[in-house]
């Protein structure tokens, strides 16, 4: 059967990752969380005291930063960092780190390599516009800020992290702003993407919508 690439982009907290993961499971595809890769580089800089405002330091240190996936886990230099990349410290630094072109180049090359054989669902900010401009299916997810913040708060509670709703909103708004206004690969909807507003949809409805679109393309020839 024909295999395709599914690119899912959108703002922080619109449910991209949970949706993409289950769409991949339903289609028997590989799920790749590109945001986790930017988070891994951010954690690498923070834990090695790399001043990421200094490009020379960034260039030198990036060659010591090896990221890979093992199943759904992310490894930095062979160490599992699934928990470390979800902290507020990483949340607060990941947008400026992902605005650095050297970081993007390294990760985009790796992402393209992972998608070469197709049969992947990748979520992020520039997947449909830059990483896979020829993806057979592109989805752009949006949702109201209040809905996004509440979803993010519940996610954090599940991980045992209590965070004030206003602080979460501020972090999301701040990341939206940096992600959409950076010079290199800003977050924007690809002209051939399908927009899905998830404010009033359940997770299952979001998943079913995308699986249906994908199956239409897979079976059309
Ligand atoms: O999806 P996420 O919230 O885990 O992503 C974390 C950050 O990584 C996000 O604020 C912007 C950046 N990112 C990016 O610039 N490009 C991607 N393809 C994915 C994420």
Ligand 1 site, residue 129, Cβ cutoff 6 A:
no
Q: What local confidence, expressed as pLDDT, does residue 132 receive?
A: 98
pLDDT at 180 over 70: yes
Q: Which CATH architecture has domain 5-207?
A: 3-Layer(aba) Sandwich (3.40)
Q: What local confidence, expressed as pLDDT, does residue 4 receive?
A: 98
Per-residue model confidence as pLDDT tens digits over 26-48: 999 999 999 999 999 999 999 99
Per-residue model confidence as pLDDT tens digits over 71-118: 889 999 999 999 999 888 998 999 999 999 999 999 999 999 999 999
Ligand 1 site, residue 9, Cβ cutoff 6 A:
no
Ligand 1 site, residue 95, Cβ cutoff 6 A:
yes
Ligand 1 site, residue 98, Cβ cutoff 6 A:
yes
Per-residue model confidence as pLDDT tens digits over 124-174: 999 999 999 999 999 999 999 999 999 989 988 987 888 899 999 999 999
Q: What local confidence, expressed as pLDDT, does residue 156 receive?
A: 84
Q: What local confidence, expressed as pLDDT, does residue 24 receive?
A: 98
Structure confidence at residue 221 as a pLDDT band (50, 70, 90) = low
pLDDT at 18 over 80: yes
Q: How far is the CA of 221 from the centre of ligand 1 (A)?
A: 33
Q: What local confidence, expressed as pLDDT, does residue 138 receive?
A: 98
Ligand 1 site, residue 151, Cβ cutoff 6 A:
no
CA separation for the pair 165, 171 (Å, rounded): 10
Structure confidence at residue 10 as a pLDDT band (50, 70, 90) = very high
Ligand 1 site, residue 34, Cβ cutoff 6 A:
yes
Provide the mean pLDDT of the chain: 95
Q: How far is the CA of 36 from the centre of ligand 1 (A)?
A: 7
Q: Ligand 1: which of 15, 82, 94 to mutate, judged by most atoms within 8 Å of the beta carbon? A: 94
Ligand 1 site, residue 22, Cβ cutoff 6 A:
no
118, 133 contact by CB (below 8 A): no
Q: How far is the CA of 94 from the centre of ligand 1 (A)?
A: 7
């Amino acid at each position: 059967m024909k295999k395709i690439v599914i690119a899912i982009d959108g703002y922080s907290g619109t449910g991209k990752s949970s949706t993409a993961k289950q769409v991949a499971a339903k289609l028997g595809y590989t799920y790749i969380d590109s945001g986790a890769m930017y988070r891994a580089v951010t954690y690498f800089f923070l834990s090695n005291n790399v001043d990421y405002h200094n490009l020379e330091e960034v260039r030198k240190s990036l060659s010591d930063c090896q990221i890979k996936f093992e199943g759904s886990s992310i490894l930095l230099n062979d160490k599992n960092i699934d928990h470390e990349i979800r902290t507020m410290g990483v949340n607060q630094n990941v947008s400026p780190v992902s605005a650095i072109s050297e970081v993007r180049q390294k990760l985009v090359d790796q992402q393209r390599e992972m998608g070469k054989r197709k049969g992947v669902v990748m979520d992020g900010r520039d997947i449909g516009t830059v990483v896979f401009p020829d993806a057979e299916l592109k989805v752009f997810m949006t949702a109201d800020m209040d809905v996004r913040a509440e979803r993010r708060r519940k996610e954090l509670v599940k991980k045992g992290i209590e965070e004030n709703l206003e602080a979460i909103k501020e972090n999301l708004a701040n990341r939206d702003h940096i992600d959409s206004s950076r010079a290199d690969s800003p977050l924007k909807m690809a002209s051939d993407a399908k927009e899905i507003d998830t404010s009033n949809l359940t997770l299952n409805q979001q998943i079913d919508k995308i699986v249906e679109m994908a199956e239409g393309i897979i079976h059309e020839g």
